[in-house]
Amino acid sequence: MADSHKERLDIAALEARVDELIRTVETLANENEALRSQHTVLATERATLIEKAEQARSRVEAMIARLKAMEAR
């Protein structure tokens, strides 16, 4: 009888641990999905900022060229 009781306790402990692991996996999967979504948003934002920086650089270069042309007159 003692062995049977111990086996039931061992099975219950194992079930509890499996349930805990399942919850952990679900939590990590949700976090992973959120991080992937955030990564997509940040990558899009980065691309937009790079494009704006390139446009600003082009405008500054154009202004410098105009100023140099004005100096040359």
Question: CA-to-CA distance for 70 and 34, rounded, in angstroms?
Answer: 54
pLDDT greater than 70 at residue 1: no
Single-letter amino acid, residue 70:
M
pLDDT at residue number 10: 94
What is the H or E stretch that residue 3 is in? Answer: helix 2-72
**pLDDT score recorded for residue 56:** 98
Per-residue pLDDT reduced to its tens digit, 10-65: 999 999 999 999 999 999 999 999 999 999 999 999 999 999 999 999 999 999 99
Distances from the Cα of 41 to the Cαs of 3, 16, 34, 70, in angstroms?
Answer: 57, 38, 11, 43
Give the integer Cα–Cα distance in Å for 54 and 62.
12
Q: What is the model's pLDDT at position 5?
A: 85
Asked if the model's pLDDT at residue 2 lies above 90, the reply is no
Contacts of residue 45, defined as CB under 8 A and 6 or more positions apart, other chains included, come to none
